[in-house]
Structures are given as structure tokens and as C-alpha cells.
Structure 1
């Protein structure tokens, strides 16, 4: 096999599923390294060139979220595609917050997995940054005016320079809104993604979060530049780039 072949790490403890993934990936021309736990996965990432990781969430010893977090903290930038039997909105967003690039629920189509993987590798090789829209999904720090969001630290710098720790739910909502720069995000999408289907908060809860975001980042919260309500529809974030 050519040394230029893309190298994919498969981290899956289900032996039959692992074999199926390895077989299909090799048939597509990938060089495949397969392990069944997070400890071995980290050893491979630290010692070999890996172009993409297919990572199961439910693993022995160390779960996929922990593995993903360590990979990103150590500075490895290869795309990570999560596989999981749990495909809820909050869990998907937790994976993205930790630095994953895509998420596929089990059972899945092999053809879809191969397509998603190819696109992730292509995007990774083209550029380490996304464009203006969706930029927040690829950054640990996002600047908003004179403030910034530090996603990996669950903290912000306000427009007047104060450093504040904020809640996981605030970070998740900021990640969702900023990842859809310029687009209206409906209340329904926010509730499904952040809270999940089973627990819906009072509809004023989202409004209260938005008021907090304006206090954090807007020089004049009554005349917002970045965080906007769209009456009867949802919410929209505009970045400095768009302006």
C-alpha cells in the first residue's frame, strides 16, 4: 500500500463491527490501524501519523469523550468521527464541544460513513479553518468584539475584559448559535439539541440565556450587534466577519 494512503485509526471494542469497518476501509484504499480501547488509541495517535479517527463513544477503561478531549488537548488536529448507539442532541453536542468533527449514530450505513469520512479528510487537508459560517466548530477560542469565548475552558472574556466561568449549558448554546453564524436557529432546534426531547425548560429560559450573552459581549445590550432575537422564530448570531 502506498505511503501516501490516508491513515485511519478505528477505535471500536465490538470485534465484529471493528472487523467490518477495517474491511470496508481497506477496500476504499485506506491504511487502517484498529484498536479496541482508549489507552491504545492514544498511544497510536502519539506515535503514528493518523489522518482521521473513527471513535466509538462507549469504550472500556476510557470512554470516547475522554479520548477525544485528550487528543485535542495534546494538539492533534486530525478529524474525529464519533460512532455511538446514543444519538441524542445533548450527547452529540457534547462530542462537538470536545472537538469531534462529525457524529454518526448506530446502526449506520457504511456508504454514509465512508462519504462522511472522505469529506472530513478532504476538508482537513484543504484547510485547518472553516469559513465565516461554522467557524466556532473548529476553534477553541472565538472572538466576539472585544470579548471572547473559551470553549475548552468553559469561560468567557466579557466586552469590558472580565474573565468569567460559565455553565456547560451556556457553552453548548453559544457553540450552537455561533456555529450557525448568520442563520436563524429555532427554539425547537435549541430545545432538542441542548435539553433533549424528554426535558423542556420554560420557553423564557432561552430568552434569559440570550440576555446574559448580551451582557457578556454587547457594549450596549439594548442595541445588540451579535445576539439577536427573531420574533416568533428563534435566535441569530452575527460575527464580526459578517459585519
Structure 2
């Protein structure tokens, strides 16, 4: 009797990108180029449609215009964050002032690209964000233990004792950067590059806001500080760190 041939592995599902853009020409351009790179693409021309599509078929990433006919894009971003906190969002907009960029990144956007834009750059940024949002490979040292904290680099979780601290992805990436090199000063520019990979000039207030929120969630205090602010240098992690497989 002949052995049966093993079944071929099932193909991985195509990454799903939701494009929220009211200009149909731009939306179709993005769709055509992403599908050529083997992405599955959904289009929404306004905020309410985008939120409905996100609920029906959660995407792996959202490309979000801010100037929508029915809702402000920042409102859409906030709602997406409430529903799916770790959902990567790339803002693609003609609103390119420092104030708009600051607000978008502070609300949790992973990247911010101004119009007019290069479609090749947009695709490269989408691919980079998706790579960063995937769990880290299971390698020795995938758990960082520091004081009362256990930082899981695979599951992207942080526990203080038995309490899950519920960090956002941006907060996690900042904490990971600090804890991976305890005692070393990290500039705001460096933290922006590691947490957002934004290629523009750094927005120090964005990092300050996230550090403040991170300190609150960690229980950082003057009596027992975990993150130290260094004037003109940035921030550093104060506790010793060890790596563990489990």
C-alpha cells in the first residue's frame, strides 16, 4: 500500500489593508498597487463606512485620510483605537502641519505621510509597519525581566506581578527600547525612530506625552522611579534587566 502524499501547507492569508480615502482616483491607485503586491484591499470613502468595514472584517492595517466628508479623520482614528488598540494605522493626508502630525502620532498613528506622495514609498511604509507589528521570533531571551516587570517580546505584553498593564503598541516599543539597554540614554529622535519609524524631524512633545502615560501605567513615582529624564539627552531605564526564555 502506497503512503499518501502529505497535504501541501495551506497558504497564508493575504494581509488585509483598509484604505479610507474619499478621492476615488487616489483610492483606486492605492488599491491597484497594493493588490499587485498581494495585499487584500478594502476601500471606504467616508468615516462611517470605514468603521463599519473594520467591524465586519478587521484589517491588518488602515491607511487613513484625515479630510473625510462625514467625520474628521482623527475621530475615526480614536474610534479604531478604542475597538482594536494594536491595529496599525498610517495617516495619508494633505494636512502636514507639525500640529496635525503631533496630534496624529499622539493619538496612536504608526506613521504619517503627506500628499502628494510616492506610491512606492507608501507601499514600503506599509510593509515596514506590518513587519514591526508582527510578534518577534521566539528566540532565547524573548522575556525581559526587570524589577517587578515581565516584558514578553513575542506576545507584546507587559506584566507587573500578575497585572497586565495594557500598553499600546507605541508605549510597548518605547519601553522595549529603554529596557533592552538599561542605563543607556535614549534621545527622543531615537525613540521616535524605534517606535514609529518616522523619517521626518522628531516631535519631542509626542515622546513626552507617551513617556508620561507609560510612567503612569508602570506606577513610576519620584519615590521609586523606573524611567529617568535626562536634560538635553532623553530618557533611560534605571532597573537592572535579565533575559529569560520563559
Q: TM-score, normalised by structure 1?
A: 0.60
Q: Which deviates the most, 35-44 or 97-106?
A: 97-106
* TM-score (ref. length: structure 2): 0.60
Q: Which runs of 4+ in 1 moved over 6 A?
A: 141-144, 149-152, 174-180, 189-192
The residue correspondences of 1:16-165 to structure 2 (distance < 5 A) are: 16-75=25-84, 77-126=86-135
**TM-superposed deviation, 1:228:** 2.8
Per the alignment, residue 228 of structure 1 pairs with 229
Matched with 1:200 is none
Identify unmatched segments of 5+ residues in structure 2.
Answer: 1-10, 137-141, 145-150, 152-156, 179-183, 193-200
3-state SS of paired residue (1:126): coil
In the alignment of these two chains, the number of paired residues is 195
In the TM superposition, residue 89 of structure 1 has moved relative to its aligned partner by 3.5
* 1:90/1:193 contact within 8 Å kept: no
How far did 1:151 drift?
8.6
- Alignment check: 8 A CA contact 2:185 2:230 kept: no
What secondary structure is seen at the aligned counterpart in 1 of 2:69? coil
**1:186 CA displacement:** 6.3
User: How many Å apart are 1:184 and its aligned residue?
Assistant: 3.8
1:98-150 alpha-carbon deviations (Å, 9 max, x no partner): 222221122222111111111222333335xx998xx9xxxxx9899xxxx99
Whether 1:193 aligns to 2:196 is: no
For 1:199-218, list aligned pairs within 5 A: 217-218=220-221
Q: Could you list the runs of 5+ residues in structure 1 that have no partner in the other structure?
A: 136-140, 153-173, 197-205
